[in-house]
Amino acid sequence: MTISEKILNLLHDLKTFSFTLVAVSKNHPAEAILDAYKGGQRHFGENKVQEMSDKQLNLPSDIKWHMIGHLQRNKVKYIAPYVHLIHSVDSLKLLKEINKEAKKNERTIDCLLQIHIAREESKFGMDWMELETLLQTEEFKTLENICIKGLMAMATNTDDISIVRAEFRQVKVHFDTYKNCFNHMPNVDFHEISMGMSGDYKVALEEGSTLIRIGSSIFGSRNY
Ligand SMILES: *Cc1c(COP(=O)(O)O)cnc(C)c1O
pLDDT in tens, 87-115: 999 999 999 999 999 999 999 999 999 99
**CA–CA gap between residue 90 and residue 152 (Å, rounded):** 10
The pLDDT of residue 1: 87
Please determine, for residue 220, whether its predicted confidence score (pLDDT) is greater than 60. Answer: yes
Ligand 1 centroid from CA 107, angstroms: 28
Ligand 1 centroid from CA 26, angstroms: 9
Residue nearest to atom 6 of ligand 1 (CA): 215
Amino acid found at 124 = F
**CA–CA gap between residue 131 and residue 136 (Å, rounded):** 9
Atom of ligand 1 nearest to the CA of 88: 13
Ligand 1 centroid from CA 136, angstroms: 30
pLDDT tens digits, 126-181: 999 999 999 999 999 999 999 999 999 999 999 999 999 999 999 999 999 999 99
Ligand 1 centroid from CA 60, angstroms: 23
Closest by CA to 17, choosing from 155, 169, 211, is: 211
Residue nearest to atom 4 of ligand 1 (CA): 215
Provide the percentage of residues in the chain whose pLDDT is more than 70: 98
Sign of the alpha-carbon torsion through 30, 31, 36, 38:
positive
- Name beta bridge partners: 44: 23, 65
Task: Indicate the top mutation candidate among 44, 154, 197, 219 to test ligand 1's pocket, ranked by most ligand atoms within 8 A of CB.
Answer: 197
Ligand 1 centroid from CA 141, angstroms: 31
Segment (H or E) for 115: strand 109-116
The pLDDT of residue 223: 61
If one counts every other C-beta atom within 10 angstroms of the C-beta of residue 184, the result is: 7
Please determine, for residue 63, whether its predicted confidence score (pLDDT) is greater than 60. Answer: yes
